[in-house]
Chains A and B, each alone.
Chain A
């Protein structure tokens, strides 16, 4: 294993926490949408027949 190939890790809180960035950002919104969809779907289902 060539250690020199790896970037040196930061030793403070940083945006590197969220690597890989694309996966983190897109996934965040997809999950949020799924949660919203479930809540909305259940509320719509409950209103049906009312």
Chain B
């Protein structure tokens, strides 16, 4: 019985049954590609908030943040909080992405650029999604193993979670993902805070923490300088991680989920509140790490502290809830990734290069099959990750190399595909030169940190974008006119776009008008 009570097992089974029913029930509302990929663009504020919270929160975040705080003190919170600095910019940029009236992030590259950038992004995104799904599943397996002290093995939990994700995700698409996010959100918030009272009691409250730990452990900004720069999170590191994160965040495939909001206001409000909820939960995860320093001062693996805390401080009978919550956190991200990946393959590769004129029903079928294959690929990678770990890191870095091409493309009309290629190649080259110590001596440890590397490869990439764009021919005028007309036209004014005559399929643009009916 894996050391779990019948109540725990019952909770887990109940959770799986519930989300499977949700998926099958939402399948009734999926009849077109738009329904499957972006929930028919009908999501109101509540679903958008929960979707934003669910997609942005994975089960690895509590482990990563508590582990970083255990290692660096409270400044470790910036491993997750650095994106919070992006929130005001998000307020401005989110509606622009929505205005492009695109289904996938790959659509952006097809709409703005040419010269193979769309297919390149699509293929790299597919790899990225497969690996991200694997990472989620592995993290989930490790957490469940930690909570059950290794009695419930990841080799058992991971396939079960994958099968459940496939069943409800392929049936209900993004709507099923959003509805299960509601459930996940409630569970994650509960798990984030239920650990704190017993842990604070164990360390003697804040006074006990202050008595046991040096003052700098409580600072949100660790003083830089002295010691290994790779282990110092100073203002410079926070700033560069933020910039790097913004670039990567912009082109994440799961940005597609934001197209599901009914209108710009719903999107803005939903994303901000969902993101803020996550940042507040992050504080709870960080405090778990801080308490853990006092309770278990000699942990070999700092990231094990969250699992250790849940195993030690949760009352009997809550283990099943905790396991369900951790699985929910992983599965809610996996299902959204699966839908995004299937949309990218179906729209940006299959419908463009393999079968260009098929029925909507056919593409929907292809998307569902690809969804199954993506999770299967993630499952295989999850069990072979040791051999692909370098590839994982490489693909993560790649997102930061591509990001500037999206941001610059929206604000610099003269920017073109050659500039975008130059940006990516230059950034990747500069990164490789620093990563393999070809510019500076190996003993200069700071060049092994992503913040110092980003301080070189991002400006180099941006400079290459401008220079190469200006010395090569611009993109086709009608293509640029169409792209920028969309950006200048708020959601709800689609008729003005059609009136320009720039849209080859007016009926598709008109379909992006806000729906009255809420999901």
With A9-B489, A19-B490 known as contacts, the answer to whether A28 contacts B88 (CB < 8 A) is yes
Q: Is the CB of B280 within 8 A of A38?
A: yes
Q: Min CB distance, B224 to chain A, in Å?
A: 18
Q: Is the CB of A16 within 8 A of B218?
A: no
Q: Is the CB of B207 within 8 A of A7?
A: no
With A28-B92, A49-B209 known as contacts, the answer to whether A9 contacts B488 (CB < 8 A) is yes
Residue numbers in A under 8 Å from B219 (CB-CB)? 43, 46
* Distance in angstroms between the alpha carbons of A39 and B282 in the assembled complex: 12
* Distance in angstroms between the alpha carbons of A6 and B510 in the assembled complex: 14
* Distance in angstroms between the alpha carbons of A37 and B407 in the assembled complex: 28
Q: Looking at chain A, what size class is its interface with the partner chain?
A: 35 or more
Out of A2, A17, A23, A27, name the residue touching B487 (CB < 8 Å): A17
Residue numbers in B under 8 Å from A49 (CB-CB)? 205-207, 209-210
Residue numbers in B under 8 Å from A38 (CB-CB)? 84, 276, 279-280
Q: Min CB distance, B217 to chain A, in Å?
A: 9
With A18-B92, A27-B91 known as contacts, the answer to whether A4 contacts B499 (CB < 8 A) is yes
B283 within 8 A of A: yes
* Distance in angstroms between the alpha carbons of A43 and B215 in the assembled complex: 12
With A47-B218, A50-B210 known as contacts, the answer to whether A17 contacts B499 (CB < 8 A) is no
Give the size of the chain B interface in residues (CB under 8 angstroms): 49
Interface SS majority for chain B: helix
Q: Is the CB of A28 within 8 A of B91?
A: yes
Tell me the nearest residue of chain A to B268, going by C-beta: A27
B353 within 8 A of A: no
B493 within 8 A of A: yes
With A6-B495, A34-B276, A49-B205 known as contacts, the answer to whether A17 contacts B84 (CB < 8 A) is no
Q: Is the CB of B497 within 8 A of A9?
A: yes
Q: Min CB distance, B45 to chain A, in Å?
A: 14
Q: Min CB distance, A11 to chain B, in Å?
A: 4
- Chain B residues proximal to chain A, CB less than 8 Å: 74, 77, 84-85, 87-88, 90-92, 96, 205-207, 209-210, 215, 218-220, 265, 268, 272, 276, 279-280, 283, 410-413, 480-482, 484-490, 493, 495-500, 502, 510
- Chain A residues proximal to chain B, CB less than 8 Å: 1-14, 16-20, 23-24, 27-29, 31-32, 34-35, 38-39, 42-43, 45-50
18 further A-B contacts with Cβ under 8 Å, apart from A6-B496, A18-B92, A38-B280, are A9-B485, A9-B486, A10-B485, A11-B485, A13-B410, A13-B411, A13-B487, A14-B488, A17-B96, A23-B268, A31-B88, A32-B87, A34-B87, A35-B85, A38-B279, A39-B220, A48-B206, A50-B215
